[in-house]
Each structure stands twice: as C-alpha cells, then as structure tokens.
Structure 1
C-alpha cells in the first residue's frame, strides 16, 4: 500500500463512520495535496451544510500528528474559532491574533503589522473562509486580511494552507462572491497553485434534521441559475426542530426560551440593524425586564475592532468585531465630546480563560441603525478629542495623546439578542428565530436566498420561522 493510501485509510478510520462518496473523494484530494512536492500548493475545500466537511477536517486534525504534520487551526472571528475548536477537539484561534502583532511606531502610535511565520512543516487550516474579505484596513499593513494570510503561510518553511467554507453562505459585506472561496481570484493575487474539491452530498446522519432539510432546499435555490419565488417551500411535517411562528406567539416563545436556557443560546436574526434594534429593545424590556440603557447581565457584540483595552500578548490579542461579551457591571456615566460613555466590566464569552476586561463603552452605537459609528460621527469624535491637545506643538505629539485617550478608544458595541445575519456568521446558537421582515417579490433573489440559507444554518437545536409568508408553506397542511 502506498503512503498516500495509508494516510487516506487513517483519515477514513478517524471519521468513525462509513464515509459518503463525497467524503472519500474529498479525502483523496486532500491527501494528494498533502503529498504534493509543490511548495506553493494550497487546497480549497468547499462544502454545504450537512455534507460532512467539518467531520472530515476533524479526522484530518486527529491523524496529522501520526504523519508528522503540525496543524494550526484558524477562523476569522473568536466565535467561529470557538465552533471550530469544538468539532476539531483542538484549540483554534483567530487569523488576526495569529498573523498580526502590534508595534509602536516612531510617532508613538500603535500599528498592526504582519508577524513573521516561524512555523515549519505546518498545515494552516482556516475555517469559515467565506467571511474573509479583501478590504484594506485603515490601520495596519495596507494589504487585505486574505493577502496577509497567504503571505504569512508562504513565509514559513514547508507550510501549507487549507481553507474551507460554504460557497452558498453570504459573502463579505458589499461583495457578490467570497474571494477566499474563488479559486480564480486566489490564483490571480498570489503565487498559490490551488487545488479544490466541493462537497454536495448530505451525510446520512444529517438527513433527519429539519433544519438541514430546509437549509438544503434553500441552498438548491442559491445554486439555480433561474430561481422563481414559488420554488421555495418550507417543510415542517415530520420534523420537530423547525417551527412556524407568528408575531402573536413570539413573546410567549421568547419567555419559554429565556426561562429554559441561557440568553446566549438564543438569537433573533434580522435583515437590518433597524429591525435588530426593535427586537433588542423589546427583549430587554418585556422579556428580561431591563430598565436602564445598559444593565449588568446584558449581552453585547463588539461592532469594531479595538486594540486599546487588551494586551497584545494576551490570549485575545485584541477585541475583535463580532466578539460577544457579558456585562458584569456598569458605572460612571459620562457625557463628553458630544457622546455618552460608561465604565464597564466585561466577560468575553468565547474566551473563558481570559480575565475580566475593564473598559469604557460608547453608548451611541447600542441602538444605532448603522453597524458602528458612521464616518461623520467618527470624524466628529476625532475632532472633539483633538481639541484637548491643541496646545501640543507637533501633529505627531497630538496623535500620540489621541491614541492614549480612553474615550477615543471606547468600545463600540451593540446588544446581541437580535443581530443582522452578517453579524451571526461563523457562530451557532441552539435556538435561532429568523425574522422574514419586509419582503417584496423584487427582493426574492439569489442574494436573499444566501441570506436565508446563512440564517437557517446558524441553528443547532431548533429553528423558528417568524412571520414568513404563507405562500412558503403551501405544501404543508394548514
């Protein structure tokens, strides 16, 4: 038996069940990639929900030490890394934490630069690659996260990159496709020689899941070149994990869920920040009976990366957009620079070993209809804070003090009881309530189907379809 076939056998055995044809063929393709002598060879594993993509990668991670391959598991967000860790049974970290370090430049300003890759003979496995965008950050290397990731891996000695993701999920904001899952794009912007495999066959054990059955039906619409709205039909019969829910029953359902499980296990998925604000306000006041603008016990999601409140050498490295935190205490409400701030103690739920973070929060973003401060608001805050340092003669000195100002660096956060679909990507919740919201025939396109597919696949235990039009259930008995 050849070494390649021996490794294939080890991975299949580590699966713990009879593989699908898809899993077997994907395994063969991955092993060919691992044995390729090409130093620029990289692999792209695409797979839809329920196809056993994660199980196969988990088996690969288990076998890797036996074939003298080191592995590093990465994901775009802390929540995605936590999910990756749970199924791979290995610690996963964020891409940012792994490939960037924060340094102090000559002007006294903290800058994020790409770290040196000192690994050798290491396979970097990146989950939820559909979330990786190509925006150039305003602070950092001047290159996109995807470009820096590729450069980092190639810098190591005999290091390889394996990215996995679901091409039916939402692409990064403002994009039609996910660049990290686009083999032509990857080949055009890097020296990588890409090989790939796409998994489409649903694993037998998953076929009894109503969540997966309905997500698969939606995904089929995503992949159709010509989709008609009448093709979308939810299937409820024979499944107890998918529930049709109307607005009149929502409050009672939320009471039951919040009484029986942790608030962090329930999320409402909406199409806009405006809708999310309405749900967050109602949940806090009518379900959790919170009266203040912000209370101990509230759950928040970070709306913008922050490098001020956490030591760069700590487990977190920085506080990332999408990180979820529980408020332990709130104090010292201050109005300053035309904005409102509080001091807060936060526990970041996806980093259980991390210490409690003491920080300042900017309250304006809590109920804002924009994802974070708008450009105009950010500029207004910047100009107001800079007025404090007008007596400093040099511009560099002024900016040095600006970067040290705790109010300028206050965390921008939102309540996380209800979130937009983009904000939920990479995460999973036991109970997910998907809100149809305002919907016209003209909005029923492939972009909406991607949104819906991504929203449905956030649920692991029960899915609630809130206020969806009855035409999507015509195949069901009324």
Structure 2
C-alpha cells in the first residue's frame, strides 16, 4: 500500500490559522493568486501526511504563527516582506516572510506562483540549515491568502500580477470595486473600463490578458486544490492546452509520458490526490513502464519478467495477489510500449535498437572483395607515420591498418600505452591515400579534439556529426540522409572512446552510415561502460566473427612512469603498487593513506591548493579530483564546496549567483550537466568544463570560457545546467585526459568500488596520479570484477542471426 495514503492524517488545530470566511476563494475566481487554499481545507489538514521521524529543530525564525502538522512538517503564516529570487518558468522562488508578532524574518525557499511583496501566505514545510546560507524554511506547499481589504487588494494588484496595472491604478481599481475586485476582474473583466483614468485600449489589453490566462489559472488552481505544486501548471498547459484538466482526470499517468521533466513519482502523486485507486490498471501499467525506465537509467536494456514484476510491486507497494501483472503487460504490448523476447521485457525503443545494431553488425562481416589500398601504398602510409613519430610499427599495429582497409566494420581495442592513437593516425593516412572522405568522431568534445590534433583532420562529437535538431529532438542524418562531410557522403568513420556509446546513440550513429562505408570503433574494453543503456562495444568485442584487433604491447613513456603499470595491475585484479612519497623515489603516481574521511578531504584540499602546484609545477586549473560518488564527505558535492572556498578565497570575488543549493562566483570551474544544442552554433555537451569569467550586474547571466576557448553566454535558464567541477565523478570524467588526477577512495564508497571504476579513474591521469584514501579500499576495488551485471542481449541477437 502507498504509505502516504495509508497513514492517518493528523487533525490540524489552532484557530489562529483559520482564514476568515470573507477571504475564502470562490471556485471561479481565476485572478485569485495561484496557490490559494480555503480555510476549510486548511482546517481539515488536506494533503498534510504523517511521515514519521523526529521533530525538526526549532529556530528563532520559526516563531511565526506556527503549527505542527506532523512530526516533520510545520505550517507557518505571515506576510511576504521581500522577494529575493524568482524563476518564472518553474515558479521557484526565494523570499523573506514576516509574521506580525515577530521582529525577525524567515527565508523561504520553494515553488509558488505569483508570490509578491505584501501578500499574506500560508506555508507547509520544514526548517533546514543550508551549509552556506544558514536557516531556511523549505516549502512543500505555498498558499496565498486572497486579500479582501482595499489595502491588501492594492498590494496584490500592484505586485505586477496583471500587466498594465501599477501601484496608482491598482489603488483606483481596489477602491472602485472594493472586496469584490478579484471576482469582478475574473468574471467580467471588461468592467475594468468603469475605473476612472483607464482608456479603452488599456482596458481592452487588460481584459484580453485576463481571458487568455484564464485556462492556465484554472489548471493551476485545480492542481493547488489537490495540493500539487503549481509549478507544474505551465508545462501541463503547454502540452494539453484547454484540455489539461480533462486529460488529468482521464489518466494523470500520461504526464510521465507527455510532459518533459515529469516522471512517474510526480504523476503518481497527482493521480493519488485525484482519487485514483492504488490497484487501478492505469497505475499498474505506469508502474511497469517506470520500472523499465528506471532499469534503463541504470544501464539495463531489459528486465527479466519476474524481476520486472517484483520491481513494480516494490514501487507501487502493492501485494502480488491484488494485481494482475500478465494482463497489464499484455495491454502494454498491445499499445506497443513494451516488447518481449523469451522471458525478457524491453521498452520498445531499446528492443528495436538492439535488433537494428545486431543486423547492422552481421551485414558488415564479409571482407571487401578488394582492399581500399594495395599493400605497397599501405606500407608507404605507415612509413610516413613512423618517420613523423620516430617509431617502428609492430606486427599487430600493421595488421590493424590492413584490417581497416579490408573490412567495413573493425573493432580496435587495447589498454593505455598500447598505441591506439598512433594506429588511428596511420589508418587515417592510409584511408586518405585511398581517396576516402573520412569523418572522425567521439562521444565527448575533448576526445574529438584529441583525435583532431593527432590525425590533423577535423573531428566532431557524435551529436554534432549527426546534426541534432533541438526542435524535433531528432538527428538530421539517418538512414534516409546518411552522414555527409564537405557536402559528400562519407566513405569511412572512425569513432574513439567507443566504450562510452550507449545502445540508443549507437543505433542513431549506425543508421546514418552509408551502406558501403567503413566504420572503425576504437576503445578500451576495460573502461566503464556507457552511462546509458547497454554495453555495445563490449558485446561487439565478444563476437569472434567481428573483425577485431587487440593491441597488447605496452610502449613505456619514461622509466619513472608508473601510471600505465598501475592500470594493468588493476586490470589483472592485483593490488596496485603505488608508492608513498618518501622524498627520494621519483614517480608519477603516489598513495597517501587517509582512512578518516575528514582527514582525507583536508589532505585533498592542501594538495589541490598548495602542494601539487608547488612541488610538481601543475596549476590548480590542471588538477581534477575524481571520486566514485556525489554524496558524502568525499563526494563531489562537499568536495566542490570545500575546494571552491579554498580556491576563491585567494581572489576578489564577484557577487553570488544562487542556483538551487549552488553558488557561482567569477573564477569558478564549472561543468555542463546536460546537452544544450541551442546555446551556440556548436552546442555545449554533458561533461564539457569551463571557467566563469564574468557574472553580469543583474545576476541573471554569466559567461563561461569553455575548455576549447569558446566564450558561452549563459542565460538564467541555462545556468541551471551547470555544476561545480573542481571534483567530478569518475563516470563524468570518461573521455577526458587530465594532467593531474587526485583520486578519493575510502570505505564510504564501498558499494561503488569495482575494478572498471578505478581503472577508468587511473587511466584519466596523464602526468600525475595521487590516490588519497585507504589501501584496503583500493585493494577491494582492484579485486572486485564488475559487480553490477547489465541486462543486455545484443550478443544473443547477433548469435541468433549468425546461426
């Protein structure tokens, strides 16, 4: 059963919170402030559930008219004194609340539409302590008490809630219509002309605005009446228009499918508040889909049937006897939302992607009837590269170039220092000699830039190569319009960091490759798999029929270089031999034993700010802290806050720009958290890093100098996609080459420790690696092979076709 529905709501007492009857909103009043609740609803305690736990600590700022509604949540009432920050698109707001019986004010953070200075509000939430900004009241629900007095109505209208009505006009309107002002403006907005001093054109503009926003106000009030945050209203209205309420009543779970940014949990909250039964078929189908989506987000392409049913039961908190999984699954199959293969259940898009990639791979197994370049010309190309780099190719490297000229699909793999980059350059030379139109690509911008520098050809991210259209949210290049370069179809595509490519991106890439073109996938099979679903590169490598070259010979860099050796020790499941600094041993890798998390964090700070720059001559800008997780004292969140304070404490700071719980300053190192194709002509992609070089005086825009030298102007909305980047997760560092890596590793990361993770972290370091933590954790990670199996059947599909 759903715990929030099952738990008994506590009665709310305290007459001081009752709203006078004259202030109660009428059901048709859409110019009422969004977020209004009636006194009867408040007194009944609608929507306030008992969650358990201990009482939140009381603070001086909590001494407003305050009421406990359960063991965690409180209700406070007061007047909005000042609005500090407001984001219209999501209704996110930060404001100061003042109660009549207190001298101090409370900072409130939450979602509330139409919040303006002077309004009286009732807020449900809890007091929290922000590590930087101190005590705040985190609002779960903000309800505006509709004003009834002339002064109250004047304040409300003067707040800018209706364009065209300023303070002077607001006073005249309130005095003319009195306590019925808001009702009149909603029901008969044309009566605004009765107010002296309003011309017909202005009256018409105000009336038109009120009429156009009527539907949006209605859906906002509908959501609020069911204790659902009004911040959803804009997104729902954009999707469904005037049919929004009708669609919500029919099937609120469509929100998770149709409205960007709304997932199952939000839709389920809406549904339960609208009275949907816990065991309803709609809820059950949505739960099955969400279980598959959650599995996809964890990297799986399918779930075994019984595992899916078990996951859904846990999610919905229902007893197996009360639901019919097989019937709901048949319904989803009929709607073509899911697909099955044996006892595996897939989201349809993932099943199609696996089938497409399997067919694509098998169709390209046959060797070309004639090499793209004869043996003599191939040798000439190899010798040019040997001469440029003053090296001699091994037999396996020569075989790789030969295979690239002989097959339409080639996999090239090997660990660090095995010469993948060198071979790639020789392949490019040979393909160019054969007259091929060559495209170089990689999942990340940094990897693409590295390819371009090595091969002396332009390289693009996969998204840029396929030309993503942000309006249709599809790639322009596809089966019907294959990849072009210089207005000609490409003859060969070389993809670096192929282990990072997930199932859906691989399908998009492969479908856009011309039929007779060569595709060469280059990568390290032992690195972490893609963040997205599947293990495409790894599964292709497991098919013996696919042409594969594995480079195994290690080319040492310097006698004192240990990084590559450490990587191979980890890959072999051995305890990596990383020396501790003794003032004598020269190395590019060191280990500092720090078992206590706070001591480790303090050590990392000193290394970052002082010791590494002083001893090794590596600037802080070239140092990145890597960690397995976001949470905890050695997670990215706390480490970033710590390093931000340490770094910017040495410089003059600009003012703070608040983005949720993150503050940005000029000079901050930041990282893009999601792809943004519209911010400039080239786009900014997930994982791109840069430095804030300017924050404008309004605090609503900033400029970032990206790693590639581009200056990108971030608007208020775009800023939400940034996070601090002094410390990154190992997953986010994939595809990067980092001059100096400081790796945080201790027992707090126990569940995340595995071989592929620390192997990936170690191989990011190019000049210096320092591990801070416990050797026990390092040893555990090295010995623990991949602990989380991914459910994927690409290999099985290929083998089925080959039979």
Normalised by the size of structure 2, how large is the TM-score? 0.43
Distance in 2, matches of 1:29 and 1:61, equals 12
**Structure 2 residue aligned with 1:308:** 678
**Structure 2 residue aligned with 1:348:** 706
**Structure 2 residue aligned with 1:3:** 374
Distance in 1, matches of 2:558 and 2:439, equals 28
How far residue 163 of structure 1 moved from its aligned partner, in angstroms, is 1.0
1:417 aligns to 2:726 (yes or no): yes
Normalised by the size of structure 1, how large is the TM-score? 0.70
1:320 aligns to 2:626 (yes or no): no
Pick the aligned partner of 1:62 from 429, 442, 452: 429
Pick the aligned partner of 1:113 from 466, 471, 475: 475
RMSD of aligned C-alpha atoms?
3.0
Change (3 A) 1:278 1:58: same
Contact 1:114 1:148 (8 Å CA) reproduced? no
**Structure 1 residue aligned with 2:575:** 232
How far residue 431 of structure 1 moved from its aligned partner, in angstroms, is 0.8
Contact 2:468 2:677 (8 Å CA) reproduced? no
SS at 1:35's partner residue?
A: coil
How far residue 181 of structure 1 moved from its aligned partner, in angstroms, is 3.9
Contact 2:693 2:705 (8 Å CA) reproduced? yes
Contact 1:8 1:31 (8 Å CA) reproduced? no
**Number of corresponding residues:** 371
**Structure 2 residue aligned with 1:125:** 494
**Structure 1 residue aligned with 2:591:** 244
How far residue 261 of structure 1 moved from its aligned partner, in angstroms, is 4.0
SS at 2:675's partner residue?
A: coil
1:27 aligns to 2:419 (yes or no): no
Distance in 1, matches of 2:579 and 2:384, equals 35
Distance in 2, matches of 1:264 and 1:150, equals 37
**Structure 1 residue aligned with 2:509:** 149
**Structure 1 residue aligned with 2:447:** 80
1:435 aligns to 2:744 (yes or no): yes
Unaligned runs of 5+ in 2: 1-372, 595-599, 657-662, 780-803
**Structure 2 residue aligned with 1:178:** 535
Distance in 1, matches of 2:629 and 2:719, equals 24
Report Cα offsets for 1:338-393 as digits up to 9, x if no partner: xxxx311122222x2x4x222225xxxxxxxxxxxxxxxxxxxxxxxxxxxxxxxx
1:94 aligns to 2:437 (yes or no): no
How far residue 32 of structure 1 moved from its aligned partner, in angstroms, is 3.3
Unaligned runs of 5+ in 1: 104-108, 135-143, 188-192, 222-230, 335-341, 362-406, 474-478
Pick the aligned partner of 2:713 from 358, 361, 379: 358
Contact 1:172 1:178 (8 Å CA) reproduced? yes
Report Cα offsets for 1:371-419 as digits up to 9, x if no partner: xxxxxxxxxxxxxxxxxxxxxxxxxxxxxxxxxxxx3x55411111100
**Structure 1 residue aligned with 2:385:** 14
Q: Which has the higher contact order (CA 8 A, sep 6+)?
A: 1
Pick the aligned partner of 2:643 from 278, 283, 300: 283
Distance in 1, matches of 2:732 and 2:427, equals 29
Contact 1:306 1:411 (8 Å CA) reproduced? no
SS at 2:439's partner residue?
A: strand
How far residue 195 of structure 1 moved from its aligned partner, in angstroms, is 1.4
Distance in 2, matches of 1:459 and 1:184, equals 26
**Structure 2 residue aligned with 1:43:** 410
**Structure 2 residue aligned with 1:426:** 735
Distance in 1, matches of 2:627 and 2:608, equals 16
Change (3 A) 1:93 1:443: closer
**Structure 2 residue aligned with 1:385:** none
SS at 1:153's partner residue?
A: coil
Report Cα offsets for 1:281-328 as digits up to 9, x if no partner: 111112331764211111111001123322xxx3x2x22111112212
Distance in 1, matches of 2:770 and 2:398, equals 35
Contact 1:79 1:322 (8 Å CA) reproduced? no
